[in-house]
Amino acid sequence: MKEKPKGAAAIRQIRRSLKKAYPNATTELKWSTPFELLIATVLSAQTTDKKVNEVTPKLFRKYPDAFALAEAKLAEVESIVRPLGYFRQKAKTIVNLAKKLVEQYNGEVPKSMEEMLQLPGVGRKTAAIVLGTAFGIQEGIAVDTHVQRVSQRLGLTKNKQPEKIEQDLMALVPRKEWSWFGHAL
């Protein structure tokens, strides 16, 4: 027998419970500019936010903006991000990302999902985090392994692919709560 999707009352109760427990849910990444959040989020793939927060202060002291990082020597960036794993690829990605920000956006982080998805190393999850957290622009719900697991346990989705889970969650949660909801889960 197929389980019915959660009703509106159940969704409201889940949101109320999450609001009570995590009223100000946001990223654990430490950042002070949209550029820093973007770079930290890209670096967070396959590692913990805690580890990224250990590495980024040195990275951002040396390369405080897209212009500085775009001019960086790859070997120097690699030595800083080495503790994160996949450091060669991550270093290459963030330097190329910075170059694209400089070339196409005057060093600024774009404010649309479409533009964000054109940047090296940026997928829907990263774009949704940066747009929602740095700019308050609700363009999606970031689906990581935790959001996937919890949303399935709560019966909010039966899907396994992050894109489909995101679509299911966006249909259930008011748009103004998308960024917060992903962090709260």
Q: What is the mean pLDDT of residues 150-164?
A: 94
Helix (H) or strand (E) holding 109: none
Percent of the chain past pLDDT 90, that is, above it, reads: 93
Q: Which residues are catalytic?
A: 125, 144
pLDDT band at residue 6 under the 50/70/90 scheme? low
Residue with token string 């299911």: 168
Which ranges of the chain does DSSP label H, i.e. alpha helix?
A: 8-21, 34-43, 49-62, 66-70, 74-81, 87-105, 113-116, 124-135, 145-153, 162-172, 178-184
Instruction: Determine the average pLDDT of the residues in 34-44.
Output: 98
User: Average per-residue pLDDT in the chain?
Assistant: 94
Q: What percent of the chain has pLDDT over 70?
A: 97
Q: Write out pLDDT tens, residues 44-85.
A: 999 999 999 999 999 999 999 999 999 999 999 999 999 999
Buried b / exposed e across 13-26, counting CB within 10 Å, b at 16+? ebbeebeeeeeebe
H helix or E strand, kind and range, residue 32:
none
Q: Among 1-5, 15-19, 101-105, 152-156, name the one with the lowest average pLDDT.
A: 1-5
pLDDT in tens, 92-137: 999 999 999 999 999 999 999 999 999 999 999 999 999 999 999 9
pLDDT at 18: 96
